[in-house]
Amino acid sequence: MDVAGLPLRRIGLRIAEGIDQTLLVLVLALSMLGLAALFSASYENPSRVLGQLANLGLALAAMWLVAQISPQTLMRFAVPAYLAGLVLLVAVALFGDVVNGARRWLHVGVTRFQPSEVMKLALPMLLAWYFHKHEASLRLRDFAVAAVLLVIPVAFILRQPDLGTAALVGAVGFIAIFFAGISWRVLGVLGGLGLAVLPLAWGMLRDYQRQRILMLLDPTQDPLGAGYHIIQSTIAVGSGGPWGKGWLNGTQAHLEFIPERHTDFIFAVYSEEFGLLGNLVLLVLYSLLIARGLVIAANAATVFARILAVSIALMTFIYAFVNMGMVSGILPVVGVPLPFLSYGGTALLTLFIGTGILMSVQKHRTLVQT
């Protein structure tokens, strides 16, 4: 028995090497909740759940693979990944598929994906790499260069148009710059300037984007048009009550009142069926996940590793917060998936690769201690 058991154990140990158990348990727990909500949102039709399960398997494999790569090696991918991301964004602008009036999807062989998704990791990687390089002598000019590197992909995504992703990629880039150590004074000046520029930005938004923001203030004004999403999802959340209606018993979702209930609005389905209790469980899981990410960042060995880790941890936070805020009616409706819960292969892959990076950073933190 031992003869057979030994190599198996060794293989098991090898596989477990570099995998942060806390992170793994948290992301798996979140993914399971997602599958449960998805099953309900699909009218108990298992084919979509199986599809997501396949996505999950692929994402786990990718996470494992990335976790094996040291941050130093990862750093070499920063520039190529960013450039590849830019090329894909140009490609999607030229040849992309139009879905719901926005050109976001690119066909690759049998499948298609959103190139903007690549930028969610590629941009913080590039910025982390850039700050790592110029660490010894960071000046205001370096932050200006970083800002340009940030604005280019964001502008492309904004043009698709995908306001939600553009804002999120921009926010992640800003987090990288913030944690690179930009001074509060500069931030204050920029913040003031930003407020001044706001009216201009308003002019650049598409009509439907403006409408979405306006509708946030009073969604009841257009209950069958722009406000419909918010009203219906708010009813779903509110009717869930403290304990929820129970799994598969959500009527809002099952009577098709929840639009995009598999993807961006899956939280409405979850919240209706699992209630306040379920929401708190979800918030605790996210908090733990983010906290773990922040701790890993705080202990990271290099500037590259720490900036990348903090960007990834806070990206998960922003996604979760914006999505739940949107579904519960306190934030505008922007197309943002709920991390680990929403249906969709590309987003899941990004999140798990991000988790893999966190694991890699955690594993290689020992440099500090020696």
Partner 1 sequence: MQITEIRDSGAELRQFQLRIGIAGFAVLAAFALLTLRFFYLQVVQHEAYRAKAEENRISIVPVSPYRGLILDRNAVVIARNYSGYTLEIFPRRVKDLSGTIDRLSELVDIQPRDRFRFRKLLQETRNAESLPIRNRLSDEEAARFAVRRYQFEGVELKARLFRQYPFGDVGSHVLGYMGRVDQADLARLESEGVFANYRGTEYIGKAGIEASYQHELHGTTGFEQVEIDAAGRGIRSLSRQASQPGNNIMLTLDMRLQQVAEAAFGERRGALVALDPSTGGVLALVSKPGFDPNLFVDGIDPQYWSELNANIDKPLNNRAISGVYPPGSTFKPFMAMAALESGKRKFSSTIHDPGYFDFGGRRFRDSKVGGHGTVDLMKSIVVSSDTYYYQLANDMGIDAIAAFMRQLGLGARTGIDLQNEAAGVLPSQEWKMKRFRQPEQQKWYPGETISIGIGQGYNAYTPIQLAQAMATVASGGTAYRPHLVAHIDNTRSGERRSVDTELLHRVPLRRENVEFVKQAMAGVIKEGTGRWAFAGASYSVGGKTGTAQVIATKQNEKYDEKKVDERLRDHSLFVAFAPLDSPRIAVAVVVENGGFGARAAAPITRTVLDYFMLGKVPPGLARGTPEDEGAEARGSD
| Beta-carbon contacts of residue 302 (< 8 Å; ≥ 6 apart) | 71, 72, 132, 367
The binding track of 249-268 with respect to partner 1, each residue x by CB under 8 A or -, is: --xx--x-x-----------
Q: For residue 27, which of 284, 340, 262, 295 has the smallest C-alpha distance?
A: 340
Q: How far apart are CA 273 and CA 251, in angstroms?
A: 9
- In the three-class reduction of DSSP (H, G, I as helix; E, B as strand; rest coil), residue 45 is classed as coil
Stretch of residues binding partner 1 (CB under 8 A), selected from 19-27, 240-248, 258-266, 338-346: 240-248
| Beta-carbon contacts of residue 253 (< 8 Å; ≥ 6 apart) | 40, 41, 236, 261, 268, 269, 272, 273
Closer to partner 1 at the Cβ: 86 or 237? 237
CB 127 within 8 A of CB 173: yes
Q: Does 1 bind partner 1 (CB under 8 A)?
A: no
CA distances, 215 to each of 66, 148, 203, 211 (Å): 41, 32, 17, 6
Find the shortest distance in angstroms from Cβ 286 to partner 1: 7
Q: Where are the beta strands (DSSP E) in 93-162?
A: 97-99, 102-108, 111-113
Find the shortest distance in angstroms from Cβ 276 to partner 1: 4
Find the shortest distance in angstroms from Cβ 33 to partner 1: 16
Find the shortest distance in angstroms from Cβ 256 to partner 1: 9
Q: Does 178 bind partner 1 (CB under 8 A)?
A: yes
The binding track of 157-176 with respect to partner 1, each residue x by CB under 8 A or -, is: ------------------x-
Q: How many CA atoms lie less than 13 Å away from 298 in the CB half-sphere?
A: 6
CB 162 within 8 A of CB 104: yes
| Contact pick of 240, 345, 354, 356 for partner 1 (by CB under 8 A) | 240
| Contact pick of 12, 181, 188, 192 for partner 1 (by CB under 8 A) | 181
Residues lying near partner 1 in the complex (CB under 8 A) are found at 43, 135-136, 175, 178-179, 181, 223-224, 234-242, 251-252, 255, 257, 271, 275-276, 279-280, 283, 286-287, 290-291, 294, 297-298, 301-303, 306, 310, 314, 317, 321, 324-325, 328-330, 367-368, 370
